[in-house]
Structure 1
Amino acid sequence: MSVSVETAAVPVAGGAAVGTPSTRRPGAWQKKLPTVLGSLLVLVVFLAAWEWGPAAMGMPEFILPKFSRVVQESVLMWNTSDLLMHFGITAFEVFVGFLLGALLGLAVGVVLGLSPTTESIFSPYILALQIAPKVAFAPLFVMWLGYTIYPKILVAVLIVFFPVMINVLSAVRTVDPDLVNLVRTLNAGRVQIFRLVEFPSAMPALFSGLRIASTLAVIGVTVGELVGGNMGLGYLLVDGEGQGNTSAVFVAIAALTLIGIVAYAGVVWAEKRVLHYMPRAATSTV
């Protein structure tokens, strides 16, 4: 009689059979459980240190408020300062700036990657744009477009553009030539070579750039709101600093961090579904 490798049949009372527990493989949640518990433990230790550490060191609350005081301030800002509205405005600016910057970086990266001559012509100007401090552009955009959401989105676009562009350019430029020659032997045209070989090969690098860009978009929008904003979390941050309300500053920072985490998680989620066909070693595990 053959016995299954997965679960060996063991007779019990009543003639039934159950699988031997020692031969069962652990589920995915069992493998991730130690990591999740470890992360939660680090979070608990961090929050405990934040709650009782400042008082233990004799640090005044206007310099570093304890965690419970920040939570109380967040509730107060939710009720009296339209925290949700400001959060939504900043999140919208991050999303639009990230999307436009990523699309622009993808398009320019593909064009420069496919044409070395075009790269030689435009690369000095693109490099100069990247080297120029983005903070310096924010007041200029405010002077041009006023105290609206557009200056913040433009700063985010500038910051997001370069990492996406350079990753896509490098990936397109380093495509395996044997794959290109193989497709050419099948009478594939230029568009088909790009669609079947070059663009799929650039996808891992594209998502690597998008991971970086998702966090930089938050920085770009925050810079724009700090320089010339009357709405958004950056505005609340400046307002809290002007009032000497350290707890409000921490609330704004925590909300900006939450937006960045959600943006990064969205890129990771999309990457896992788009690149599901690739080996795990070829994609990041973060």
Structure 2
Amino acid sequence: MSLDSSTASVNAPVGASSHPLPTKGAGMSKHAFTLTCSLAVLAVVLAAWQWVPGWLGTPEYIWPKFTSVVTEGFRMWHDGNLLEHFGYTALEVVLGFILGAMLGLFVGVVLGLSPTTESILSPYILALQIAPKVAFAPLFVMWMGYTIYPKILVGILIVFFPIMINVLSAIRTVDPDMVNLVRTLNASRWQIFRLVEFPSSLPALFSGLRIGSTLAVIGVTVGELVGGNKGLGFLLVDSEGQGNTAGVFVAIFGLTVIGIVAYALVVWAERRCLHYVPKVNTTTV
């Protein structure tokens, strides 16, 4: 061993690793690699969509090529009021999601703070959840007609339960030592909830919101399929009735975009609100 290497070993900090620390550039390269692989998968899927139906001799009315779907999308954009239907469904999803989330948060907090209330109401809430939401859609249409309200109500019903369950479980599992500590400081019941119980439930709340953001699209679509004269669900049924398979794919793609945007907004809000939580304790995309 040379003198220079011995000196370097002596001057090295105790406990320092011999391996170089990862640099910011390495992290950026990993992110770029992940993005490249993801785009490559998308390219393969689109290429298969474009060429495989022709190789198998599948008729266009059964499985249209990707370029046919894109062409139909542009036609519907200019001639079929696609943007109007898209905006109508997006509005229903937003309203159903927000109202369902607020209702789920309120009921989850109430049941979490009061076990007696949970024992009284839980059988009825469970029965409401078990009943298929598709069965409620025709009933809501009979009550309120072909308006926006039946779709929003179905969205509320389908979003409510996962958020309520997540918040209820989080409230029940709050660290009792933290609650006792705040009580020793003469905190009121409201202060205990505001300073300890509600902040502790936020990670679970956002997990429920992630689920609810995707379920809201399903609920609204069900409402539009059963009784709608506007929206992407109506456009889907209308295209199906005309044998326009490419138009059905366009409607499905529009619904997917709405769901992705809603989910991304929840993730953005979660990162803004829970930036103080260690990464290991937060949900992942």
Q: Normalising by the residue count of structure 1, what TM-score does the alignment of the two structures yield?
A: 0.91
Match of 2:110 in 1: 111
Aligned amino acid, residue 200 of structure 1: P
Aligned amino acid, residue 23 of structure 2: R
Match of 2:99 in 1: 100
Q: Distance in 1 between matches of 2:217 and 2:22?
A: 45
Residue 156 of structure 1: how far off its partner (Å): 0.1
Q: Distance in 1 between matches of 2:60 and 2:187?
A: 68
Match of 1:238 in 2: 237
Matched, 1:34 2:33: yes
Aligned amino acid, residue 127 of structure 2: A
Match of 2:69 in 1: 70
Structure 1: runs of 5+ lacking an equivalent:
1-21
Match of 1:222 in 2: 221
Alignment: residue pair count: 265
Residue 134 of structure 1: how far off its partner (Å): 0.5
Mapping of residues 113-132 of structure 1, within 5 Å:
113-132=112-131
Mapping of residues 1-286 of structure 1, within 5 Å:
25-27=23-25, 29-286=28-285
Residue 260 of structure 1: how far off its partner (Å): 0.2
Residue 71 of structure 1: how far off its partner (Å): 0.1
Residues 34 and 129 of structure 1: is their aligned pair in 2 closer, same or farther, counting only changes over 3 Å? same
Q: Distance in 1 between matches of 2:116 and 2:105?
A: 18
Q: Distance in 2 between matches of 1:91 and 1:40?
A: 26
Q: Distance in 1 between matches of 2:166 and 2:21?
A: 45
Residue 48 of structure 1: how far off its partner (Å): 0.4
- Deviation per CA, 1:46-74: give whole Å up to 9, x if none: 10010001111121111110100000000
Q: Distance in 2 between matches of 1:179 and 1:55?
A: 65
Residue 23 of structure 1: how far off its partner (Å): 8.2
Aligned amino acid, residue 208 of structure 2: G
Residues 23 and 168 of structure 1: is their aligned pair in 2 closer, same or farther, counting only changes over 3 Å? closer
Aligned amino acid, residue 24 of structure 2: P
Match of 1:7 in 2: none
Q: Distance in 2 between matches of 1:56 and 1:181?
A: 70
Residue 29 of structure 1: how far off its partner (Å): 3.6
Q: Distance in 1 between matches of 2:23 and 2:199?
A: 34
- Deviation per CA, 1:177-234: give whole Å up to 9, x if none: 1111111111111111101110000000000000000000000000000000000000
The alignment partner of 1:74 has SS state of: helix
Residue 32 of structure 1: how far off its partner (Å): 1.3
Q: Distance in 1 between matches of 2:109 and 2:34?
A: 38
Q: Distance in 1 between matches of 2:73 and 2:131?
A: 36
Match of 2:9 in 1: none
Aligned sequence identity (%) = 73
The alignment partner of 1:231 has SS state of: coil
Structure 2: runs of 5+ lacking an equivalent:
1-19
Residue 285 of structure 1: how far off its partner (Å): 2.2
RMSD: 1.2
Q: Distance in 1 between matches of 2:22 and 2:153?
A: 54
Q: Distance in 1 between matches of 2:21 and 2:230?
A: 59
Aligned amino acid, residue 75 of structure 2: L
Q: Distance in 1 between matches of 2:136 and 2:21?
A: 63
Q: Normalising by the residue count of structure 2, what TM-score does the alignment of the two structures yield?
A: 0.91
Aligned amino acid, residue 277 of structure 2: M
Residue 25 of structure 1: how far off its partner (Å): 2.0
The alignment partner of 2:24 has SS state of: coil
Residue 24 of structure 1: how far off its partner (Å): 8.3
